[in-house]
Structure 1
Amino acid sequence: MECGGSLRVSLGRAADHVPATCSAFSAIDEPLPGTAAVVHRWLCIEHPGAWGRDVVGDAPLGAELTAELDRRCNAAGFRLMLIRRPGRPINSSMRQVFIASSVVGDEWCERLEVSSAAELLDIPFENGGVGTPVTDTIVLVCAHGKRDQCCARLGRPIASGLALTFPDHVWECSHTGGHRFAPSLIMLPSGYTYGRLDLEGAQKVIEMARNGSVSQHGLRGRSCYSPGAQAAEIAIRELVDATAGELTVEASEDAFVVSHQDGRSWGVEVTASKLPPREVSCGASPKPVEILAVSRVWARNAPK
């Protein structure tokens, strides 16, 4: 089946001139808020070689090593990622590793070098404190072409362009979740995730992140939150100016509560609905997609 065939039928004329890719069809009717992959901690290992389609299943780091790293990551709430410099240059036998936490109130990122990923088995990376603290934003751009063509076609040019301006901070990365939102970017350690950005938009996102701000353009959500909490936070960010650390989100019985450090808080009601079946990845079998929308926002507390 041609990728996008089913959605082309359901959308009719709206899809007549849309390329048959999952990202092109998603952009027609699928909102971004609430679509960031839920990840609390990250283990990112430089691997310039082939990645395969599945970082764990295809075991590009070797079967035994990949299985053990995956076990440790799952036990400690980490996501195992592969990274490489745009263009895949290999200038050293040493490999960069980033360990990060995106948990609000416990955000940190550390960098270390290893000669082999196997060295990580001797390092208690789960609690941090094993590398050099990273004080600037690390940018991951999904370029995992073996996983989906949109990631390679859209992600790699963005990564290469960003690397010209931010050479020490930008990395291509393996699957981040959400091919159809390509190009997809993740800011570490905050975990703020973006999609559908052009180069200029991505540059602005990074510049704001480095200043502690959060760009609304292309924002999918903060990875440490559930999809509903992501959508709630974005709704409040559209109403007030707040740095990355000034807003927190908690779930209540019937809504989400978004709180500002200055004492203000808001209730946010988020509702879900279904869109027509579509390929969530190019060539995959069509399935319905759930989207989130904010149906109500109300002030709870004013600053004292």
Structure 2
Amino acid sequence: MTASRATDDAAPTRCSQISALDEPLPGTATHVGAWLCLEHPAPWGRDIFDGTAFGDELTALLKARVDAAGIRLMLIRRPGRAAADAGAGRAVYLARSHPDHVQCARLTVDTPRDLLDVDLTWAADPAAPLPGSTVTGPITLVCTHGRRDVCCAIDGRPIAAALAGAAHPTAEHVWECSHTGGHRFAPSMIVLPTGYSYGRVSAGDAAAAVRGIAGGVLPSAGLRGRSCWDEPGQAAELAVREHLAAERIPLNTLTVHGDGPDVRTVVHSDGRRWRIATRTEPLPPRAASCGAAPKPVTAVHVGAVTPL
């Protein structure tokens, strides 16, 4: 969805409406390379590590484990807050997003405490298999974390419901999720295991993204970036994809390498290389979430896509 959604109100007040007026999407995805998603239909709290979801003791243990492993923990639930089946266990997805070793697996635990027994060493070893059964994906996570920001609840829940109700094999792997990073880009969506993040998506944009990724291509509407790269790297990859739009570059074809703080080299699997100069520029201060005090915000811009 384009910035026009912010003009629906005469005076935009929600953080996502204000952001859509002038803030570009490329280079805004959270920098994450490995994911652990736990089905948790009980209340999440404002922060998943504030003790609401797991209690203080287990929260501290889980946070220490995922932080040490370099993994992002996400809480997920079925769209519509369907009642959990106490006898069916809780779904757990494990994923890594780097294009050279992208992978996703699924397993089941009885309680959140069982996560303490799940092997997380795969996050640091690209050759290590993920525990559980391989999932070919895509796994779609739509942020609906209303206790963190109202935009996620208002804008995210209809998108999650529409995707889950679609007549498509990927519908069974659609989940509402906790904070993804970037309330002001709501509706916000992450597609695992690739880690591509989308923002300001309509239901049609979201469905097209999931269908495209399932088919091995990457729709560009609402695309924020691939989580395994830093913000300049995300913007650089998307610039190369736009440059090669006619080729319909497959998902895991491009890798990004840093050449200093403001230069990225994007490498195609066929050997082609491009250098992209980036710059980070300030935008007027704005609230990162609804009700928060304004703070400085920056945007990543890219220069020419120069073949090497």
Normalised by the length of structure 1, the TM-score is 0.91
Q: Give the structure 1 partner of residue 292 of structure 2.
A: 284
Alpha-carbon distance in structure 2 between the residues aligned to 1:221 and 1:143:
20
Q: Is residue 51 of structure 2 the alignment partner of residue 58 of structure 1?
A: yes
Q: Is residue 101 of structure 2 the alignment partner of residue 106 of structure 1?
A: yes
8 Å contact from structure 1 (residues 101, 107) kept in 2 = yes
Q: Is residue 257 of structure 2 the alignment partner of residue 250 of structure 1?
A: yes
Residue type matched to 1:287 in 2? K
Q: Is residue 206 of structure 2 the alignment partner of residue 202 of structure 1?
A: yes
1:209-248 equivalences in 2 (<5 Å): 209-240=213-244, 241-248=248-255
**More displaced, 138-147 or 271-280?**
271-280
Query: What is the CA-CA distance between 1:91 and the residue it aligns to?
Result: 4.5
8 Å contact from structure 1 (residues 156, 172) kept in 2 = yes
Question: Which secondary structure state, in structure 1, belongs to the residue aligned with residue 171 of structure 2?
Answer: coil
8 Å contact from structure 1 (residues 97, 113) kept in 2 = yes
Query: What is the CA-CA distance between 1:104 and the residue it aligns to?
Result: 2.6
Residue type matched to 1:261 in 2? S
Q: Give the structure 1 partner of residue 282 of structure 2.
A: 274
After the TM superposition, which segments of 4 or more aligned residues of structure 1 sit over 6 Å from their partners? Answer: none
Query: What is the CA-CA distance between 1:16 and the residue it aligns to?
Result: 7.7
Alpha-carbon distance in structure 1 between the residues aligned to 2:171 and 2:9:
39
Alpha-carbon distance in structure 2 between the residues aligned to 1:15 and 1:277:
22
Give the paired residue count.
Answer: 287
Please point out which of 123, 134, 141 is paired with 2:118.
Answer: 123
Residue type matched to 1:20 in 2? T
Query: Which ranges of structure 1 fall in alignment gaps of 5 or more residues?
Result: 1-13
Alpha-carbon distance in structure 2 between the residues aligned to 1:193 and 1:107:
15
Normalised by the length of structure 2, the TM-score is 0.90
Alpha-carbon distance in structure 2 between the residues aligned to 1:117 and 1:125:
15
Question: Which secondary structure state, in structure 1, belongs to the residue aligned with residue 21 of structure 2?
Answer: helix
Q: Is residue 272 of structure 2 the alignment partner of residue 264 of structure 1?
A: yes
**More displaced, 42-51 or 141-150?**
42-51
Q: Cα deviations across residues 33-69 of structure 1 (Å, max 9, x unaligned)? A: 0000001111111011111100012341222112111
Alpha-carbon distance in structure 2 between the residues aligned to 1:216 and 1:202:
11
Query: What is the CA-CA distance between 1:82 and the residue it aligns to?
Result: 0.4
Seen in structure 2, the aligned counterparts of structure 1 residues 78 and 279 have a Cα distance that, compared at 3 Å, is same
Q: Is residue 77 of structure 2 the alignment partner of residue 77 of structure 1?
A: no
Q: Is residue 181 of structure 2 the alignment partner of residue 173 of structure 1?
A: no
Percent identical among aligned pairs is 49
Q: Cα deviations across residues 159-204 of structure 1 (Å, max 9, x unaligned)? A: 0011001431100000000000000000100000000000011000
* Cα RMSD (Å): 1.5
Query: Which ranges of structure 2 fall in alignment gaps of 5 or more residues?
Result: 1-6, 123-128
Q: Give the structure 2 partner of residue 29 of structure 1.
A: 22
Q: Give the structure 2 partner of residue 146 of structure 1.
A: 147
